[in-house]
């Protein structure tokens, strides 16, 4: 069997773990990594790094591009690679904008006969699939998704982008029934005003609905543990029967999990017909390596 050739776009937190997940997939080959600073200070001697300005075909044939870029740059990168007929996977995480991204990329993907799997991570991502499943199992009721305790990469990036912030880490604390507290630890730039920074963070869409505490610290990097968690609870009704109770819980390394799910979705791209999809639109067995019948035998 020919191996799927995968390029990792971006070499931040998720990009680093994406390289590891591709290297550990026996049905894939790492074509290389595309990043802003190209081959400078190549951190992995056996991996080809190229600059973003170089054409991706410098890496040879590429079947799938894993877009390990901040959410707000996903549309641009996805458009670029899909137009070249390369499948893309991203972990776009602004829940309210997923449908727009999907519609937008769907047309481009169909035109180039490529497949995009969007919002592929743990939430949005496998949590979305579990929410869908639980609703099909017990349609009337409420699902609460409780996150943390753990660092939110998306929220940390946003906090870090504010004027006066040198470094920041946003910790998500679950308060039950889907309510969260955000603990944002900031390393301020010299002369920056904590109150101004707090206001800037508080007014961002990422933070405006939650209880927020902004705490100045001397060194954010000393706090940055990558462990995270989810505790999803649904109490609901199947037919006329109440009190069906479901819990889904995970304690995980956040970027490692996101990257692995993206790699599993890269595999699904090669099986799904052209277009842009969220994970709840994909047959779950497409995410797995190996023979379909053997996977059914083992897992069903």
Binding site for a copy of itself (CB under 8 A): 17-18, 20-21, 23-25, 95-96, 98-99, 102, 119, 122, 124, 126, 128-133, 135-140, 238-241, 243-253, 256-257, 259-261, 263-264, 278-285, 287-289, 292-293, 295-297, 299-300
Decide whether 84 or 253 has the Cβ nearer to a copy of itself. Answer: 253
Decide whether 88 or 198 has the Cβ nearer to a copy of itself. Answer: 88
Decide whether 214 or 259 has the Cβ nearer to a copy of itself. Answer: 259
Decide whether 84 or 238 has the Cβ nearer to a copy of itself. Answer: 238
Decide whether 161 or 238 has the Cβ nearer to a copy of itself. Answer: 238
**Three-state SS annotation for the chain:** CCCEEEEEECCCHHHHHHHHHHHCCCCEEEEEEEECCCCCCCCCCCCCEEECCCCHHHHCCCCEEEECCCHHHHHHHHHHHHHCCCEEEECCCCHHHHHHHHHHHHHHHHHHCCEEECCCCECCEHHHHHHHHHHHHCCEEEEEEEECCEECHHHHHHHHCCCCEEEEEEEEEECCCCCEEEEEEEEECCCCCHHHHHHHHHCCCCCCCCEEEEEECCCHHHHCCCEEEEEEEEEEEECCEEEEEEEEEEEEEHHHHHHHHHHHHHHHHCCCCCEEECHHHCCHHHHCCCCHHHHHHHHC
Q: How far is the CB of 286 from a copy of itself (least distance, A)?
A: 9
CA 87 to chain centre: 16
Q: How far is the CB of 226 from a copy of itself (least distance, A)?
A: 9
Give CA–CA dist 153/179, Å, rounded: 18
Total residue length of the chain: 300
Decide whether 21 or 165 has the Cβ nearer to a copy of itself. Answer: 21
Decide whether 70 or 124 has the Cβ nearer to a copy of itself. Answer: 124
Q: How far is the CB of 217 from a copy of itself (least distance, A)?
A: 26
């Amino acid at each position: 069997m020919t191996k799927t050739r995968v390029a990792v776009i971006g070499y931040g937190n998720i990009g680093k773990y994406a390289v590891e997940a591709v290297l550990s997939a026996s049905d894939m080959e790492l074509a290389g990594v595309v990043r802003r600073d190209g081959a400078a200070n190549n951190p992995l001697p056996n991996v080809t790094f190229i600059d973003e300005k170089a054409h991706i075909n410098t890496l040879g044939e590429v079947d799938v591009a894993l877009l390990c870029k901040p959410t707000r740059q996903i549309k641009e990168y996805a458009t670029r690679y899909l137009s070249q007929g390369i499948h893309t996977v991203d972990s776009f995480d602004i829940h309210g904008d997923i449908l727009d991204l999907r519609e937008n990329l769907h047309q481009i993907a169909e035109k180039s006969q490529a497949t995009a799997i969007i919002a592929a991570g743990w939430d949005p991502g496998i949590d979305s699939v579990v929410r869908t499943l639980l609703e099909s199992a017990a349609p009337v009721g409420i699902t609460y998704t409780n996150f943390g305790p753990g660092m939110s990469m998306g929220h940390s990036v946003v906090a870090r982008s504010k004027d006066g912030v040198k470094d920041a880490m946003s910790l998500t604390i679950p308060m039950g029934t889907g309510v969260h507290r955000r603990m944002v630890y900031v390393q301020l730039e010299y002369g920056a005003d904590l109150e101004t920074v707090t206001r800037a963070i508080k007014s961002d869409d990422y933070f405006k609905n939650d209880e927020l505490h902004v705490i100045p610290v001397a060194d954010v990097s000393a706090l940055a543990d990558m462990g995270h968690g989810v505790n999803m609870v649904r109490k609901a009704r199947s037919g006329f029967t109440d009190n069906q109770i479901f819990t889904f819980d995970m304690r995980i390394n956040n970027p490692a999990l996101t990257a692995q799910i993206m790699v599993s979705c890269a595999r699904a791209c090669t099986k799904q017909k052209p277009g842009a999809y969220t994970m709840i639109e994909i047959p779950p067995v497409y995410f797995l390596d190996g023979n379909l019948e053997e996977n059914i035998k083992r897992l069903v």
